[in-house]
Structure 1
């Protein structure tokens, strides 16, 4: 990476560090297992998740099988739990004292600023981010994510949908193609990458037209449906009823919504954005640029995978992004300010 050093000084990073959380697609067999085996803070999160969900999400994360882990209904809570477990371990180590109290061994709003002073997440990761900043409790966040995945999977069965990433074509041209064939722009993740969504045959047609218009590459995404499109309206309506029952508090630190790409602290707006996210486009690049405009150059990617690190490099190569998903990653970051 260019620009600033890859090394973060912990005392400084606390002041201006952004916490970022991955979305669906980051799942992999074995995620969180090493954390569970080495940290009580991670064990509490996974064991509590099993109780809340009434299923062995822990075993699914650690052992698969892959076909079950990859489903929308399972991958979303699995990524959420792994990310929160990782954060719980990080905050306990930064705190240098046990997290929480017996039978409720999870971080509080007073602990969060030890790691970062702003948070955001990609799609699913937005709920993780809201839980991370204590706007939503872990219990309600996990229940919400499980329902979100189930409703999205149900909507995907109603009509076959697809998503595709179009590389190297302007947003205006992609918008024109989508309008012409009847699909939608779903995600604006980084420069020269636009993700489209819609009925399978229409997305395939749009991909062919984009290629003919000069796109460098078309990648059909390995997802089960047309997320962030009108095909998710039925899921959105069901999710609204779940959201109505969730208590949303003021975030412990700033939170950027990837629907508006703005700092969002109003509970009503957060609730509305979480519902709209299902059938509206997400603005990841704009959200990161908002954080940059607020003075953030250091980012911690907390949870499985390193997709966000790759996207941030494309948005601004001077950004310092550290991925944390093992005890070794966390220990090395605390000792040296960088990933091993």
Structure 2
């Protein structure tokens, strides 16, 4: 992830170096040469995706003359991508964002490590029903689940695709019921390490609230009486610590919130929205619809992978959607604007 950028563009190398310095370990080495299983751990994957996305943006700015303030009307990102949008618009520094997503990923992984229940996220292709109708049916199914089982709406990706998140058994039961009611057709289990954007993530939301200065930090744990010789080497590592809350600024263009699907320019609103985002549904399709009602029909999707660009193309085939994921895409982008 990002290796071609690092090798080709000095400005991209500077992004990866800043991320390494901030995290105080060589995330770039893990990204380019390391074990993929370790890279896909949430606490590593989230800063790696953010770093690659910002590296792509910096190259677009220096090599192609792209100016997000002049060429963009809104910035939006899916889940973790909201942090990319904040950095891209100058609302948050790259250093603060990387520290935050490292903490975010660690807190989410910590929840999974401590749970006895298996968790899941499952994408559903809807069977001609509306999102509003699906929500009503899902609300009626949740109380019927066995105790401690959870199935909640995590992502609204398009008018025909949503994602459920929760316990594995709870999500499985909810999917079966939605299919029995002929509301959902195909179901695809997603290869993710945690049940993102559901109530199971509340401990991670609390950690983020503490990092933003919205909640008191926990008191330090008392020293363990366990002797060094009997301490387990598999004990969980402590979560990263942010010494001071991050500083937010007014973005150069509005950032559309995952939680509200509405633009935000007040920097004081971002911390609480980012906390809420941890447990709330990602309103991706409504966010895109907001852009379109404002007359926006051209989209630039930058970051590793093509998931968002493909969603946009399927949902809005007449819109102009440019996907930038690697060096080849950057060169094509440059040729398009400088034929």
Instruction: Please classify the TM superposition score into its range, dividing by the shorter chain length.
Output: 0.7 to 0.9
Q: Does residue 107 of structure 2 align to residue 154 of structure 1?
A: no
Distance across 2 between alignment mates of 1:175 and 1:310: 29
- Name the counterpart of 1:281: 281
Count of aligned pairs between the two proteins: 294
| 2:301 aligned counterpart, secondary structure | strand
Shift of 1:212: 2.2
Does structure 2 conserve the Cα–Cα contact (< 8 Å) formed by 1:84 and 1:128?
Answer: yes
Does structure 2 conserve the Cα–Cα contact (< 8 Å) formed by 1:156 and 1:232?
Answer: no
- Name the counterpart of 1:187: 155
- Name the counterpart of 2:175: 207
- Name the counterpart of 1:326: 326
- Name the counterpart of 1:233: 202
Task: Provide Cα deviations, 1:22-60, integer angstroms capped at 9, x if missing partner.
Answer: xxxxxxxxx211111110000000111111111221122
Rg larger for: 2
- Name the counterpart of 2:59: 89
- Name the counterpart of 1:54: 24
Shift of 1:242: 1.2
Shift of 1:210: 2.2
Does structure 2 conserve the Cα–Cα contact (< 8 Å) formed by 1:91 and 1:114?
Answer: no
Distance across 1 between alignment mates of 2:39 and 2:178: 32
In the superposition, the TM-score normalised over structure 2's length comes to 0.82
Distance across 2 between alignment mates of 1:257 and 1:222: 25
Task: Provide Cα deviations, 1:180-228, integer angstroms capped at 9, x if missing partner.
Answer: 3242111111012121111221111112222322221111111122211
Specify every segment of 5 or more residues in structure 1 that has no aligned partner in the other structure, as ranges.
1-30, 97-110
- Name the counterpart of 2:232: none
Q: Does residue 290 of structure 2 align to residue 290 of structure 1?
A: yes
Matches within 5 A, 1:1-340: 31-95=1-65, 111-159=67-115, 160-169=118-127, 170=129, 171=134, 172-181=136-145, 182-214=150-182, 215-244=184-213, 245-337=245-337
In the superposition, the TM-score normalised over structure 1's length comes to 0.82
Task: Provide Cα deviations, 1:56-104, integer angstroms capped at 9, x if missing partner.
Answer: 21122223321111111111000000000000110012349xxxxxxxx
Distance across 2 between alignment mates of 1:307 and 1:206: 25
Distance across 2 between alignment mates of 1:227 and 1:202: 15
Shift of 1:337: 4.3
| 1:187 aligned counterpart, secondary structure | strand
| 2:76 aligned counterpart, secondary structure | strand
| 1:217 aligned counterpart, secondary structure | strand
Does structure 1 conserve the Cα–Cα contact (< 8 Å) formed by 2:64 and 2:333?
Answer: no
Shift of 1:268: 2.4
| 2:157 aligned counterpart, secondary structure | strand
Specify every segment of 5 or more residues in structure 2 that has no aligned partner in the other structure, as ranges.
214-244
Task: Provide Cα deviations, 1:221-252, integer angstroms capped at 9, x if missing partner.
Answer: 11122211111111110111112201110001
Distance across 2 between alignment mates of 1:277 and 1:293: 23
RMSD of equivalent CA atoms: 1.7
Distance across 2 between alignment mates of 1:231 and 1:281: 13
- Name the counterpart of 2:228: none
Distance across 2 between alignment mates of 1:86 and 1:317: 25
- Which segment drifts farther, 271-280 or 322-331? 322-331
Task: Provide Cα deviations, 1:112-131, integer angstroms capped at 9, x if missing partner.
Answer: 32552321000000011101
Does structure 2 conserve the Cα–Cα contact (< 8 Å) formed by 1:86 and 1:324?
Answer: yes
